[in-house]
Structure 1
Amino acid sequence: MKAISGTSPITVSHPFNEIPAKVDVQVKVTENGKEYIFPGLGSIQRDNDINTPYGGVAYTYNETSVLLIVPKGKNIGRVIYTGGLSYNGVFDGSFISAKVRVRVWRLFDWPKPDFVHNCNLSISTAEPYKLVTHSLRRQPDFVTVQVMLNDGFVSEGQGVTTVTEDDSGTNHVCGVLFGISTTSITLWVPSKNRDYVICYNDGWGDIARMYDSALVVIRAWVLSSADVVQRETFPYSRGDVFKGTIPLMCNLDPDSHMVIVEIKDATISDGKVFYAAGTASLGNINDPFGGVVFGYNQTDVLLWTPSVTNGHLIYVDGIWGDGTETMEINTVQISVTIVSTSNSVNNFTAINIDDLVQDLTVSKKTTSTHVRSLTSAYDPRPSAKAMGAVGITVLCLVLGLIILADCDLLVRKFCLKNDRN
């Protein structure tokens, strides 16, 4: 896909005929001869009205397809943007083209969720804050927040707030932010004029969708040790020596692994966890923002963290939640988890048609029908034994009568032969 002058949206069909339980959009770029993958966004975070870089590959999906949406029009749009001088990172990423792949799961492709909330939970710009309690008594390992839109499409929640101020012009800020604790899952959405729960418009291609409200479905899983390939956890505070590269113990497989980067508030005992994102879309210079950006390849997970005083590792304030449960956190615990999806994802593989015909061709001599036709089944019932004995007796009697009928002829023929001799 290509930003600025490319086609947007692009429709990718899936064969499930049902709303997927999870969609993963992998955006692959090349930097200094190496390939890196960044995850897509469930919703755009801002439009193109602020004259600073913005971007990402946003997606929305329904029962038959996934729509991929990228910036289009102004030259400040990017498919991946790692935050420029506002972030510390391994490299300064600003890409206008990328290769994109979509992975889609059905609900029964995953283990049964340990927590589900799908009972008419709504969120809107008029009610921009919701707290949902769960009974897991621990922080779940993986959470999905699906935003069910009124036209049948679905978006997904996010864990960063790179735009937080109410712009006096026409800028739109959108998205559903969520944080996770040992007892609850909290939702925030933008609450000012021109803001939406979810939107895809104004600088995001040939599509204009804006939603003031939506229903939300939350699912949470507690993973087993067999599901976790690697987990690396370390403390981090803004200003510490930057740890931008997390080496992996074994090679990551983009087909069967999923990367989860969690940022946990370490200033209190039960601090909330927020997920890192695959891109940054900053607002005006000096506006406060928050969140961690990440990408990965087969050997490493790469992190980008805020480097300026108005940037925070976790930030919830301004237009988000209308001032309810604000957060400005710069001492955190970062966890990088590699999850195996090989036991849950429904993989589709191209098969050579000749191999398929050979696999489906069966010799008729090996069928159960043919084998049964040559095999007598044992029946232990007395009645069955009696019927068998009667049958054998009748057969023997008939055969005996036939033989007796011919005995006289055979005897006379034998005697006549002897007389002649």
Structure 2
Amino acid sequence: MRDCSFVGTSYIDIPHNIGYYPDYVIVQLKMPDNFISEAQGTVFKKRVLNHGSKVCGVIMAYDGSKIRLWPSKKGNYDDPYGVFCVSDGWGTPIFKHTSASVYVQAWKFSPSDILFSRTDTRGSGISVSPTIPLPGPFDIDSHIFLVQSQAIDGNYANYVFEAAGSAISDGSAFFEEIGAVVYAYNENEVNLWYPGSGNYLIYIGGTWGYGAPTQASKTASVTVKVIKATSTLPGCGNSVCSSDWNNLNVSCSPIPHPNKIENAHSFVMGNTSVYTCMSGYASNGGESVIFYDGTQWETTDFNCTVPDPCPYTSSPMIYNLTTLQEKVIEMKKNLSVDIKNTSAYRRSLTCALDQRPSSAYVGYLGITILTLMGGLLLCADLSDLL
């Protein structure tokens, strides 16, 4: 946390000390009355153009080493700036703050938690579809949908600016230059909108960071990400954390062990516990997976008991010798098979047609031999008669 008074300051750099680009950054502004707002990455109004108007807010972007904040600064009229205000039809009376405590949160997700990522160079004159289909559907309650614009030129090249979910300007001359990417999404697609040729995807100038180097990018590298929001990062332990705004001290308390179940093993991973029965014991079929909700473990009726060693019952049967011999004869009779009822016996009574040429040759040879033998015997008998 950092207490910041933006009077006389064109921009503020806050090192994040991560050493690489975070995947997700939130900059919260806590007002003196304890209301909390957030910095954003878009500009919808360049400066105050008439007396009594206000331009308030903080623009945020980051790179691999720091987070930079550009507050709204004093312009043409007295006191038209602030880190937060509500006016011009958004609320009455005018509600404004010129200083705030800054609270920065940055995340680097595991690659397996980033379920979708697509980057395109976008801008006026570049033909890229504004609709990005997702491989989903993704449940919008358990995923984070991000759209980020990275500057590819200018004084803030490689800085990442967050897109906005709504627009408060139509880009007309009344508002002068704007710089924004606006997006909306559902579980199946993300839609993008950005200004035409007269405006920018990224803009720093006018009352924003008054006196700081300016940025006006008509093209940018726009990335769409879908991140799993139910992740447990490895290496952080299983802890429930709390913090306060005063000193940014974070206290962590380990998640308590789940209730012990007799004759069962418990495997805990993150906020999940899985019960399995020890060797020699059987489950009753109760719920074996329970979850920790931040305050207590779920209850379960799961238990493990020794299984019945003999699930089947029978009554003993006692026979005398005569009865036993009769039973054996009856069993042999029931198990024996009459040979005349077998298929082998039935096949032996009939001739099967054999279409093989070799079978025909054997038959012809047999007929020839029988004919010759019969002829020789006949000739011998005829010679005796003559």
TM-score, normalising length: structure 2: 0.56
2:20 alignment counterpart: 138
* Residues 1:189 and 2:78 aligned together: no
From the superposition, tell whether residues 205 and 229 of structure 1 become closer, same or farther in structure 2 (CA, over 3 Å). Answer: same
Verify the 8 A CA contact 2:171 2:195 in the aligned structure 1: no
1:9-408 aligned within 5 A: 118=1, 120-192=2-74, 193-205=79-91, 208-267=94-153, 271-282=158-169, 285-286=172-173, 287-309=176-198, 311-343=199-231
From the superposition, tell whether residues 270 and 288 of structure 1 become closer, same or farther in structure 2 (CA, over 3 Å). Answer: closer
**How many angstroms does 1:126 deviate by?**
3.4
CA distance in 1, matches of 2:170, 2:186: 29
Verify the 8 A CA contact 1:163 1:283 in the aligned structure 2: no
Deviation string 1:364-421 (CA, Å, 9 cap, x unpaired) is: xx8xxxxxxxxxxxxxxxxxxxxxxxxxxxxxxxxxxxxxxxxxxxxxxxxxxxxxxx
Which structure has the higher relative contact order (CA within 8 Å, separation 6+)? 1
Q: Give the share of equivalent positions with the same residue, in percent.
A: 31
SS in 2 for 1:226: helix
The one-letter code of the counterpart of 2:50 is S
Structure 1 unpaired stretches of 5+: 1-117, 347-358, 367-421
**How many angstroms does 1:185 deviate by?**
0.8
CA distance in 2, matches of 1:282, 1:332: 20
TM-score, normalising length: structure 1: 0.52
Verify the 8 A CA contact 2:70 2:208 in the aligned structure 1: yes
**How many angstroms does 1:123 deviate by?**
4.1
**How many angstroms does 1:270 deviate by?**
5.2
CA distance in 2, matches of 1:163, 1:278: 16
CA distance in 1, matches of 2:157, 2:224: 19
SS in 2 for 1:312: coil
**How many angstroms does 1:342 deviate by?**
2.1
From the superposition, tell whether residues 331 and 361 of structure 1 become closer, same or farther in structure 2 (CA, over 3 Å). Answer: closer
From the superposition, tell whether residues 361 and 274 of structure 1 become closer, same or farther in structure 2 (CA, over 3 Å). Answer: closer
The one-letter code of the counterpart of 2:195 is P
Number of residue pairs matched?
237
**How many angstroms does 1:140 deviate by?**
0.9
**How many angstroms does 1:332 deviate by?**
1.2
Question: Aligned-residue CA RMSD in angstroms?
Answer: 3.0
Verify the 8 A CA contact 1:125 1:190 in the aligned structure 2: no
Structure 2 unpaired stretches of 5+: 233-239, 241-297, 304-386
Q: Which runs of 4+ in 1 moved over 6 A?
A: 359-363
Verify the 8 A CA contact 1:143 1:221 in the aligned structure 2: yes
**How many angstroms does 1:207 deviate by?**
6.6
Higher strand proportion (structure 1 or 2): 1
SS in 2 for 1:290: coil
Deviation string 1:287-335 (CA, Å, 9 cap, x unpaired) is: 11101000011111000011141x1010000000112021011221110
Verify the 8 A CA contact 1:125 1:195 in the aligned structure 2: no
